[in-house]
Amino acid sequence: MPEEYFKGEFESKDYTVSITSVSSADINEQYVTSNFSSKSSPVSLAWKNLTYQITDPKTKKQKRIVQNVNGIVNPGEVLAIMGPSGAGKSTFLDLLAGRKDPKNVSGTVFLNGKPGDVKYVSTYVMQDDALMGVLTVRENIQFAADLCFPTTYTQLEKYARIQNIIQEFGLERVADNKIGTVFVRGISGGEKRRCAIASQVLTLPKVIFLDEPTTGLDSAAAYNVMNAIVNMAKRYELTVVASIHQPSTETYALFDKLLLLGHGKTLYFGEREKAINYFEQLGYACPPYNNPADHFLKLVNSDFMKDISEAEQHITKFSIAYSKSTYITNINRQIDETIRLANNYGEIISKKTAKRYARNFFMQTIILMKRSFKNATRNILMFWIRVAMYMCLALLMGSTWWKVGYDQKNIQDRFSAHFFSVAFLAFMSVAGIPGFLEERLVFQRERSNGFYSVGPYVLANTLISIPFLIIITVSFSMIAYPMIGLHENLHNAFYFNIFLFLALFVAESMVVFISAAIPIFVAALAITAFANGFFMVVEGYFVRRDSIRKILKWANYIDYQKYSFEAIVKNDLVGLTFNCDPDPSGQTTCLCNYGGVEATKTCKFTGQEVLNSYGYTDINLYEWALALLGLILAFRIGFYLILLFRKNRH
């Protein structure tokens, strides 16, 4: 497309394009088509004897969830997988998409007639709309484009494609609206679903799998979603397979082919239009004005039959009828023909022929950082409420410990202020769990579709949290430190910030580690709270460090709150001189709890003497900082390994 199509400016940084005189509808569709769709040839998908067998955890017997399913979908065709609940639709979709453990799978999937790995040419659209709620529709799609468009595409090409997909999915009206969060009412459920699908298929993958794309939508929204997908499949010759629950008559009519499953067996596979005739021939004609989809589902539903064998017989009857029909013979012929033709040409689609990521490690990290930054700065729950809470707490602490002073009785007050600063800031890092869990869903979806790998995500998550933790630390200590009246020296105030920041960084790293391992809000919250509570108890404030029981001594080494607390104590006390109270009995000049005999004469003792009396003789600020950095690293590596090895359903 010639550049004069656009009269506006292009900002290369975030693809913000302002177009003044040309509407987005003017974008030359041919340009988009030729640039995005013809990079590789269309893919036909065929499968033979596809079976999924597991060992039933209860009975320990072998159980076939999907049995000997054959079929073929050609480029531009859309296949609907239907069946009653528990028929095996999701299992079959996962199986076809290569997302099941191969040890439980038998049969072959053919890509353009050759066995291959469909993962490298496909996208799997999950049921949930994992999107960044605080970003707009366009921003969500744009970030997906940033991540998965090859570097060879110009800004103009990218913009054209984004604009095009927004149009194709009917999202123009809401393109600049936010998706929505608990605070901001966003776009509708149907629009959300279309946005989620659009952001996953904008690279026009040759094969698209959709897991119940219309579930939870009203019939008009469901139709719009399916219509957008079908139009795209036709226009760009994409092969689409979607599992679907009870489509309306209009939505059902959009499909080209139908696979009807019951107890994991094929009850019908073939042209959607011919299904009516097929069941009519079997003696189950669809009553006039009935939705054929409803009719078929009712016919093959055995859930409410009195006994299991009756249900089994009912399904077997349809399955046998189909296996003896001319339909299966035709399908098998088509599959064999595709395989025969493929022997003469075509390449095997496998890992070798597919480039895994569009962007390199560095670019993936930068793009993810940009998105996380936007997400965090706009996310009230994730960030601003936390900042406000820490500032309120700083005010509260400041007024409670107001100008704590240098008398002997103030030692305990200082210790409490040190302890509370670390403990509360660290404890409240649990406030980051909901935000992380939302982001984790997006990560899961994008990672499984090959947008980026785990390394850049973990690195981006780590780096982007640094400025936010600095803001939290500084906004807290700017208020609390002078109000409490801790060691009046810029150098000491700086170290206070450093150790508070490091503690917060460990706490945040622990939160992402635990939430990645157990991605359930209440469970992650409980475990993080327990861990923080435990570290608080053994950090040496409630129980003197040398009095902690032997069996809990190990915890002292990994207790990040201990390192931060002790460093802050030392940083505050060393260099200060404190006053003792006069001895009312007159036996000595002063009553000093610290500093020995000398102090009782001079009525003064040093902060170092306080540390000595508590057994804090080994605190080395640099070593303690290193220990905290080590813990950050350990939690971050753990976070990386969990994401890397954790097997999600998809």
- Consecutive H or E run containing 536: helix 521-537
Choose which of 48, 72, 79, 89 interacts with ligand ATP (CB under 6 A): 89
Rounded Cα distance, 188 and 190, in Å:
5
Interface with ligand ATP (CB under 6 A), residue total 10
Residues 90-119 that bind ligand ATP (CB under 6 A): 90-91
* CB of 135 or CB of 226, closer to ligand ATP: 226
Residues paired with residue 10 on neighbouring β-strands, in sequence order: 17
Q: Six-digit token pair at 199?
A: 């952001």
| Site stretch for ligand ATP (CB under 6 A), options 8-16, 80-88, 183-191, 230-238 | 80-88
Counting other chains too, the contacts that 192-195 makes at CB distance below 8 Å and 24 or more residues apart are: 192/129, 192/131, 193/129, 193/217, 193/221, 193/225, 194/169, 194/170, 194/224, 194/225, 194/228, 195/129, 195/131, 195/137, 195/140, 195/141, 195/169, 195/171
> Residue 260 CB, nearest distance to ligand ATP (Å)?
11
* CB of 81 or CB of 197, closer to ligand ATP: 81
* CB of 84 or CB of 456, closer to ligand ATP: 84
> Residue 201 CB, nearest distance to ligand ATP (Å)?
22
> Residue 255 CB, nearest distance to ligand ATP (Å)?
17
> Residue 272 CB, nearest distance to ligand ATP (Å)?
19
* CB of 24 or CB of 448, closer to ligand ATP: 448
Which residue shows structure tokens 């009917």?
A: 170
* CB of 308 or CB of 551, closer to ligand ATP: 308
Choose which of 12, 30, 59, 85 interacts with ligand ATP (CB under 6 A): 85
* CB of 99 or CB of 359, closer to ligand ATP: 99
> Residue 57 CB, nearest distance to ligand ATP (Å)?
6
Is 33 an interacting residue with respect to ligand ATP (CB under 6 A)? no
Q: Of 169, 173, 165, 177, whose CA–CA distance to 139 is shortest?
A: 177
* CB of 54 or CB of 282, closer to ligand ATP: 54
> Residue 249 CB, nearest distance to ligand ATP (Å)?
20
Residues 581/407, Cβ–Cβ less than 8 Å? yes
Rounded Cα distance, 99 and 648, in Å:
10
> Residue 56 CB, nearest distance to ligand ATP (Å)?
6
| Site stretch for ligand ATP (CB under 6 A), options 83-91, 166-174, 338-346, 586-594 | 83-91
> Residue 94 CB, nearest distance to ligand ATP (Å)?
8
- Consecutive H or E run containing 233: helix 219-236
By DSSP bridging, strand 16-18 and strand 9-11 are antiparallel
Rounded Cα distance, 221 and 216, in Å:
9
> Residue 211 CB, nearest distance to ligand ATP (Å)?
8
Residues 391/479, Cβ–Cβ less than 8 Å? yes
Is 398 an interacting residue with respect to ligand ATP (CB under 6 A)? no
* CB of 107 or CB of 180, closer to ligand ATP: 107
Residues 9/17, Cβ–Cβ less than 8 Å? yes
> Residue 322 CB, nearest distance to ligand ATP (Å)?
18
Choose which of 88, 435, 450, 595 interacts with ligand ATP (CB under 6 A): 88
> Residue 307 CB, nearest distance to ligand ATP (Å)?
17
* CB of 42 or CB of 86, closer to ligand ATP: 86
Residues paired with residue 348 on neighbouring β-strands, in sequence order: none
* CB of 83 or CB of 595, closer to ligand ATP: 83
* CB of 94 or CB of 439, closer to ligand ATP: 94
Is 477 an interacting residue with respect to ligand ATP (CB under 6 A)? no
* CB of 299 or CB of 486, closer to ligand ATP: 299
* CB of 90 or CB of 589, closer to ligand ATP: 90
Residues 348/114, Cβ–Cβ less than 8 Å? yes
Choose which of 46, 87, 368, 404 interacts with ligand ATP (CB under 6 A): 87
Residues 470/596, Cβ–Cβ less than 8 Å? no
Is 276 an interacting residue with respect to ligand ATP (CB under 6 A)? no
Rounded Cα distance, 425 and 539, in Å:
15
Percent of the chain that is helix, strand, coil (3-state, to 5): 55, 15, 30
> Residue 73 CB, nearest distance to ligand ATP (Å)?
18
Is 83 an interacting residue with respect to ligand ATP (CB under 6 A)? yes
| DSSP class of 279 | H
| Site stretch for ligand ATP (CB under 6 A), options 79-87, 108-116, 319-327, 547-555 | 79-87
* CB of 95 or CB of 484, closer to ligand ATP: 95
The CA-based dihedral angle spanning residues 152, 153, 155, 157, taken in that order and rounded to the nearest 10 degrees: 160
Alpha helices of 343-432 — where are they, by DSSP H?
361-378, 385-400, 410-427
Q: How many residues does the chain have?
A: 650
Residues 419/501, Cβ–Cβ less than 8 Å? no
| Site stretch for ligand ATP (CB under 6 A), options 72-80, 87-95, 224-232, 334-342 | 87-95
Counting other chains too, the contacts that 182-185 makes at CB distance below 8 Å and 24 or more residues apart are: 182/381, 183/380, 183/381, 184/133, 184/134
Q: Six-digit token pair at 520?
A: 């359930």
Residues 545/617, Cβ–Cβ less than 8 Å? no
Residues 44-73 that bind ligand ATP (CB under 6 A): 54, 65
| Site stretch for ligand ATP (CB under 6 A), options 78-86, 269-277, 504-512, 602-610 | 78-86
| Site stretch for ligand ATP (CB under 6 A), options 86-94, 493-501, 604-612, 624-632 | 86-94
CA angle 134, 135, 138 (to 5 degrees): 155
* CB of 89 or CB of 158, closer to ligand ATP: 89
Choose which of 16, 29, 53, 86 interacts with ligand ATP (CB under 6 A): 86
| DSSP class of 285 | P
> Residue 44 CB, nearest distance to ligand ATP (Å)?
24
Q: Six-digit token pair at 391?
A: 């500032």
* CB of 82 or CB of 349, closer to ligand ATP: 82
* CB of 108 or CB of 301, closer to ligand ATP: 301
> Residue 323 CB, nearest distance to ligand ATP (Å)?
20
> Residue 448 CB, nearest distance to ligand ATP (Å)?
18
Rounded Cα distance, 255 and 226, in Å:
9
Q: What is the 3-state secondary structure (H, E, C) of 146-169?
A: HHHCCCCCCHHHHHHHHHHHHHHC
> Residue 294 CB, nearest distance to ligand ATP (Å)?
15
> Residue 301 CB, nearest distance to ligand ATP (Å)?
11
Rounded Cα distance, 632 and 479, in Å:
26
The helix/strand/coil state of 289 is coil
Residues 387/375, Cβ–Cβ less than 8 Å? no
Compute the half-sphere exposure of residue 530: CA atoms within 13 Å on the CB side of its CA: 7
Interaction site with ligand ATP (CB under 6 A): 54, 65, 83, 85-91
